[in-house]
Amino acid sequence: MNTGFIGLGIMGKHMATNLLNAGYSLKVYDINTESVKLLESRGAVAATSVAQIAEECDIIITMLPNSPHVINVVLEDGGIIHHAKPGTLVVDMSSIAPDASKRMDAALREKGIHMIDAPVSGGEPKAEDGTLAIMVGGEQSDFDRAVPLFDILGSSALLVGPIGSGNTCKLTNQMIVALNIAALAEGLFLAEKAGADPEKVFNAIKGGLAGSTVMDAKAPMMLAGNYTPGFKIDLHIKDLNNALDTAQASGMPIPLTASVMQLLQAVKLDGHGQSDHSALAAFYEKIGGISIHS
């Protein structure tokens, strides 16, 4: 089975590396030639175009920034739809709008090409160690074809519904993560302002009901003032934009998500767009006039 991988950014380069380490023969493509060279040095075969990947691969993984990028790779001139043979499976692991997944699937199915949407959660650390949570939308038979890949890339993979459901699930995840990070920052800064030690507060509450994977990952970063990106503010804004668009189309109010979106936008305007989303703490640092890190 020939496998292709398109998109070798922060997440994709680790995911592709894990497939190579597991013994997969992998053809890779990215507009960033340095990323392609890196994967080539690890044993991948460099492709010169999306068309080459489509023509030569039976399963194609895409891991790209947002809906327009995936649509371009899948549907536009030189895209997968114009070069893949019937029976090819496209596994889009990008985090995009559910309606975009549905649009691409409908077009691909007319050509006999299959697709599932399979966005992931866990950020760069879990992409690197192969323990991503994978949320999948599509047909059971297509999911089953991709399971051997998912077993390498993640610690869990669940088919949650028809095409688009994976991305709906991911948007739900991103909403909850954003709200958790904002609440965590707000609480730690309140502790500081009220005269308690934020680090001791964190250690006291992390084993209780407020404790979470988000708290364990992001509180130490906030307390250290370390906003080195595992998942960037800009990308979280992109995800919440997709969530708000989906909510509007569905007629579902999501006021808490809308509020956190404003916090993210404020932090971005202060120069933190490329920082980790734990940099939401910088908003509270600014409005509170205090710091929780040394």
Could you say which of 170, 232, 238, 268 is catalytic? 170
Establish whether 170 is a catalytic residue: yes
- DSSP letters, the chain, are --EEEE--STTHHHHHHHHHHTT--EEEE-S-HHHHHHHHHTTPEEPSSHHHHHHH-SEEEE--SSHHHHHHHHHSTTSGGGTPPTT-EEEE-S---HHHHHHHHHHHHTTT-EEEE--EESHHHHHHHT-EEEEEES-HHHHHHHHHHHHHHEEEEEEEESTTHHHHHHHHHHHHHHHHHHHHHHHHHHHHHTT--HHHHHHHHTTSTT--HHHHHHHHHHHHT----SSBHHHHHHHHHHHHHHHHHHT---HHHHHHHHHHHHHIIIIITTSBGGGGHHHHHHHHT--S--
**Residues acting as catalytic residues:** 170
